[in-house]
């Protein structure tokens, strides 16, 4: 199955638009794992197994592995997700962006080495920096559009002939860059009105929405702005820290599972 | 020494503005190294030792290591450069870009793990995605401004209130983002007139210039557009493939050294 097919199947099967972000920080690990970089896989595996019934996707953030020389644990983790939770697509959050020959190396890293189903990429270098990923058949590419951080506006809100830059990116993605049909966009939850504008530009393209949970985005406004009806589809609403660090004791995995269930239910409780 | 101090010392000491880009592709390795990902360190070490007298800096591109699970060889290579060629700053070409908490993980990766002196970053997510690197004292940050690929114009040439986006980035970098004094910009050699414009905006900020050699940029026009007088300073003119794959036989390292010397001399031959 292609990335988009598996995402559609996951939305339908788990009835969830929640994506759990895996940002492992050993200093925040509970109990015997605390402070141990060699426990990254074990910690994440327990989180994954406890939250899988309530999610449409997992999104490991590669920086948290690379800072600890834990690339091997990232490989193990993605292999574990595919083996134990088949059908749940894995998005490698790497935000890569480089010229074609280098982008192809990053694509090999994401898709061949890590076996990710999709990767996040940065649009600043233009289409030929995005295309090499799309040439990997069935793989997804999720392009940064409007990000949830305070500095996001420094560039993304610049006025391009009367249109904010992030809307120009949304238009490029929808109208020119999506020949494969496997493209998505990152749009932060801190700006629900902007999610609405992006949704109006891109049709039913999947939107990856960081910024709820620890970053403070409003679930109801976010869902109303970006959901694609019928059903609960069209969005991957990401929560990382609020879920993976929901518990601090021995039962951290249960606590993460409960937090994931609550978040999914809050998302699904939003009426039409 | 900080990144900028070591760069100034290198410009003066080696009388070179050449930066050799290390983009190892095992399929292009000569002789016994050919096709062997476990020879990445050995291949690069020979290139580094042969070209060091003629360069101001080395720039390993992390994607070429990550695609081959060769992070350990990248660590070894940078340690080798520091040990055998002290004073030559190493720029980790990673083009990272993410929110603050994740950017800090990437900074740990670049500066603590790999011991790079500077790292390339993407400006699309704004200043708070750049700042965490700058908080590592003495470390350099080289921000993408105008890139040498065909798609570079897709975003970078967009008209922001009458000014192309890349010039807005140059202005942000020069006027708002450079409190540490350790910032540089990437400006492609395929557009010498744009190097000239950026130089006029950023004063004597270092410019990393990809795109000569294999990518076809014109050395003379490039140097005239970006050099800072007196001496030969202000630019890191990068060449990767044209130097590291200059020879195909046993003497590949000598061939690379000669190509580096020729390129340095061509750069220095440009009159006032």
- The C-alpha atoms of residue A41 and residue A78 are separated, in whole angstroms, by 10
At A126, which CATH number?
A: 3.20.20.70
Terminal-to-terminal C-alpha distance of chain A: 30
- Output phi, psi for B234, to 5 deg: 95, -15
Query: What's the pLDDT score for residue A161?
Result: 95
**pLDDT tens readout for residues A157-194:** 999 999 999 999 999 999 999 999 999 999 998 889 99
As a whole number, mean pLDDT of residues B217-240 equals: 92
Query: What's the pLDDT score for residue A215?
Result: 61
- The C-alpha atoms of residue B142 and residue B33 are separated, in whole angstroms, by 32
Q: How far is CA B61 from CA A21, A105, B53, in A?
A: 27, 10, 21
CA B255 to chain centre: 21
Q: How far is CA A127 from CA A99, A166, A176, in A?
A: 9, 15, 9
Burial of B80 (0-12, 13-18, 19+ CB in 10 A): middle
pLDDT at B177 over 80: yes
Predicted interface score ipTM higher than 0.85: yes
Judged by CB atoms closer than 8 Å, whether chains meet at A69 and B67 is answered as: no
Tell me the percentage of chain A whose pLDDT exceeds 70.
Answer: 98
Q: How far is CA A208 from CA A170, A241, B50, in A?
A: 13, 16, 47
**pLDDT tens readout for residues B89-109:** 999 999 999 999 999 999 999
**pLDDT tens readout for residues A17-26:** 999 999 999 9
B151 close to A (CB below 8 A): yes
Average pLDDT, chain A: 96
pLDDT at B214 over 70: no
Q: How confident is the model at residue A32 (pLDDT cuts 50, 70, 90)?
A: very high
**pLDDT tens readout for residues A109-160:** 999 999 999 999 999 999 999 999 999 999 999 999 999 899 999 999 999 9
Query: What's the pLDDT score for residue B43?
Result: 98
Query: What's the pLDDT score for residue B110?
Result: 98
Chain A residues whose CB is inside 8 A of the B168 CB are 155, 158
Copy the structure tokens of residue A88: 């749940």
Count of structural domains, chain B: 1
Q: Which residue of B has its CA nearest to A164?
A: B160
The residue of A134, A154, A210 whose CB has the most chain B CBs within 10 angstroms, and thus the best one to mutate to test that interface, is A154
- The C-alpha atoms of residue B224 and residue A78 are separated, in whole angstroms, by 50
> If we measure between CA atoms, which residue out of B129, B128, B110, B131 comes closest to residue B119?
B110
> If we measure between CA atoms, which residue out of A271, A272, A262 comes closest to residue A16?
A262
The residue of B151, B173, B186 whose CB has the most chain A CBs within 10 angstroms, and thus the best one to mutate to test that interface, is B151
Query: What's the pLDDT score for residue B209?
Result: 97
Query: What's the pLDDT score for residue A13?
Result: 92
- The C-alpha atoms of residue B34 and residue B25 are separated, in whole angstroms, by 9
As a whole number, mean pLDDT of residues B153-166 equals: 97
CB A213 within 8 A of CB A147: no
As a whole number, mean pLDDT of residues A251-263 equals: 97
Judged by CB atoms closer than 8 Å, whether chains meet at B151 and A105 is answered as: no
pLDDT at B261 over 70: yes
Q: Which domain holds residue B165?
A: 3-268
**pLDDT tens readout for residues A36-61:** 999 999 999 999 999 999 999 999 99
Q: In chain A, positions 81-120, which contact chain B (CB-CB < 8 Å)?
A: 95-103, 105-106, 108-109, 112-113
- The C-alpha atoms of residue A213 and residue A54 are separated, in whole angstroms, by 16
Q: In chain B, positions 25-64, which contact chain A (CB-CB < 8 Å)?
A: 61, 63-64
Copy the structure tokens of residue A71: 């690339």
pLDDT at A88 over 80: yes
CB A238 within 8 A of CB A215: no
């Amino acid at each position: 199955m292609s990335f988009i097919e598996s995402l559609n199947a996951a939305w339908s099967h788990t009835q969830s638009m929640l994506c759990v972000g895996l940002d492992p920080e050993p200093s925040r690990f509970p109990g015997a794992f605390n402070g141990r970089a060699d426990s990254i896989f074990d910690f994440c595996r327990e989180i994954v197994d406890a939250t899988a019934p309530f999610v449409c996707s997992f999104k490991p953030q590669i920086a948290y592995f690379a800072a600890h020389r834990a690339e091997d644990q990232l490989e193990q983790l993605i292999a574990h997700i595919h083996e134990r939770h088949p059908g749940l697509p894995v998005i490698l959050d790497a935000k890569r962006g480089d010229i074609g020959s280098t982008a192809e190396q990053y694509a090999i890293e994401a898709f061949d080495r890590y076996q990710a189903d999709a990767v996040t990429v940065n649009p600043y270098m233009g289409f030929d920096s995005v295309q090499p990923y799309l040439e990997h058949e069935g793989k997804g590419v999720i392009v940064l559009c409007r990000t949830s951080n305070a500095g996001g506006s420094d560039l993304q809100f610049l006025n391009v002939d009367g249109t904010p830059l992030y809307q120009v990116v949304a238009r490029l993605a929808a109208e020119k860059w999506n020949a494969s049909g496997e493209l998505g966009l990152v749009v932060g939850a801190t700006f629900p009105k902007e999610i609405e504008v992006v949704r109006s530009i891109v049709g039913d393209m999947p939107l990856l929405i960081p910024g709820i949970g620890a970053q403070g985005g409003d679930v109801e406004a976010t869902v109303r702005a970006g959901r694609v009806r019928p059903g609960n589809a069209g969005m991957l609403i990401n929560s990382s820290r609020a879920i993976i660090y929901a518990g601090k004791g021995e039962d951290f995995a249960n606590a993460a599972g409960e937090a994931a269930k609550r978040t999914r239910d809050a998302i699904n409780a939003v009426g039409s």
